[in-house]
Amino acid sequence: MFGQAEIGIDLGTANLLVYSKDKGIIVNEPSVVAINKDTNKVLAIGSEAKDMIGKTPGRIIATRPMKDGVIADFEITTEMLKGLMRKASKELGLSLRKPTVVVCTPSGATTVERRAIEDAIKHSGAKEVHLIEEPVAAAIGADLPVEEPIANLIVDIGGGTTEVAIISYGGIVTCNSVRLAGDKLDEDIVHYIRKTYNLLIGERTAENIKMEIGHALIEHVEQTMAVRGRDLMTGLPKTIEVSSYEIQQAIKESLLSILESIRTTLETCPPELSGDIVDRGIVLSGGGALLKGMQEWVSEEILVPVHVAPNPLESVAIGTGRSLHVLKALQKVKN
């Protein structure tokens, strides 16, 4: 439809993924940029910049230009995208041709936020830009039959936002977008350890704790983990031991907010589609789907089958890339 140079971009708060229908995921980098404050020059992007977080001298800052799934700093996001588009073009051998790009936006994004995403992609060297709502992209990437007249309930728990949507006939029937997801769980852990142990830890450490011993609100065999940080009383490095039950308590409130958004979406579901959800259940995607016990917990609370997408971390990117061929159909339904 659009010629050969077609790519899909998942412009996530935590990670930026680029998908090509011929080669699959060709770029998967953290959405982090390191810049020199004195010169405003970009020093590193992606993994290289993420490694610098919390370890740089004063004049260099490692920052995330995306906040809650939308652009917080337009110029830095554009620079990050330029670098990643160069990388993608190199992978695809598109040195001369500008690609057509489909990029996802949170369903709760405002018109201004959508325009900012579109402009940033155009500035980074795209020929055409098409926007697709994140839940629809996640559903396509999770192999759900989004164009059919049956209800597909997707829960995409990313870095900055959790998107809950019921999709039928290629469009969103009802949805809820909460600006609370993986990053908020990390913040909860940092806050808990500071409050309980007077120990300051960084976001990288908090993320590791979440991945190693974080659990949804289910019974589990207790795990412990040694955590290093800075003692706020003495200012010296210190190591403590933290239990998985403590971390469960630390993230409990945020998990309950995510559950509440699933319930709210189900409450506004048309009765004709409710039966489909009882039969087909819920599909979880995004990094949050990988939290230990998440699938069992949501199933216990909502009382319907819960499935995890085949590639939860890549669902949105795969969906944006695949949506190129169904985009016209999706737009007809929307219009």
pLDDT of residue 123: 84
- The answer to whether residue 1 sits within a structural domain is no
Q: Phi then psi for 94, rounded to 5 degrees?
A: -105, 50
Are the C-beta atoms of 32 and 73 separated by less than 8 Å?
Answer: no
What CATH number does the domain containing 212 carry? 3.90.640.10
Which are the contacts of 136, defined by CB distance < 8 A and separation ≥ 6? Answer: 146, 165, 167, 170, 171, 172, 319, 323, 330
Mind listing the pLDDT tens digit of every residue in the chain (335 residues)?
Answer: 334 578 888 888 888 898 887 888 888 988 888 888 888 788 888 888 888 777 777 788 888 888 877 788 888 888 888 888 888 878 777 654 678 888 888 887 888 888 888 888 888 888 888 888 889 999 999 998 888 888 889 999 998 889 999 988 878 888 898 889 999 999 999 999 999 999 999 888 999 999 999 999 999 999 999 999 999 999 999 999 999 999 999 999 999 999 999 999 999 888 888 888 888 999 999 999 999 999 999 999 999 999 999 999 999 999 988 887 666 555 554 44
Give the distance, in angstroms, between the CA of residue 91 and the centroid of all CA atoms in the same chain: 23
pLDDT of residue 23: 85
- The boundaries of the domain holding residue 202 are 182-251
Buried b (16+ CB within 10 A) or exposed e, 96-111: eeebbbbbbbbbbbee
Reference 135, options 170, 186, 184; nearest CA is: 170
Q: Say yes or no: 71 and 105 in one domain.
A: yes
> How many residues does the structure list for the chain?
335
Are the C-beta atoms of 84 and 7 separated by less than 8 Å?
Answer: no
Considering 205, 236, 251, which residue would you say is the last residue of a domain? 251
Considering 236, 251, 266, which residue would you say is the last residue of a domain? 251
Q: Say yes or no: 154 and 300 in one domain.
A: yes
Q: How far apart are CA 129 and CA 281, in angstroms?
A: 33
Q: How far apart are CA 48 and CA 211, in angstroms?
A: 21
Give me the number of domains the chain comprises: 3
Which are the contacts of 129, defined by CB distance < 8 A and separation ≥ 6? Answer: 100, 101, 102, 103, 118, 121, 122
pLDDT of residue 1: 36
Per-residue tokens: 24? 């699959």
Residue 126: what residue type?
A
pLDDT of residue 329: 57
Q: Say yes or no: 67 and 37 in one domain.
A: yes
Query: For the purposes of burial, counting CB atoms within 10 Å of the CB of 112, is it exposed (0-12), middle (13-18) or buried (19 or more)?
Result: exposed
Q: Phi then psi for 272, rounded to 5 degrees?
A: -60, -30
Q: How far apart are CA 234 and CA 165, in angstroms?
A: 48
The residue written with tokens 């939308």 in the block is 70
Q: Say yes or no: 155 and 294 in one domain.
A: yes
What CATH number does the domain containing 96 carry? 3.30.420.40
pLDDT of residue 254: 96
- The answer to whether residue 40 sits within a structural domain is yes
Are the C-beta atoms of 193 and 242 separated by less than 8 Å?
Answer: yes
Buried b (16+ CB within 10 A) or exposed e, 12-26: bbbbbbbbbeeeebb
pLDDT of residue 89: 79
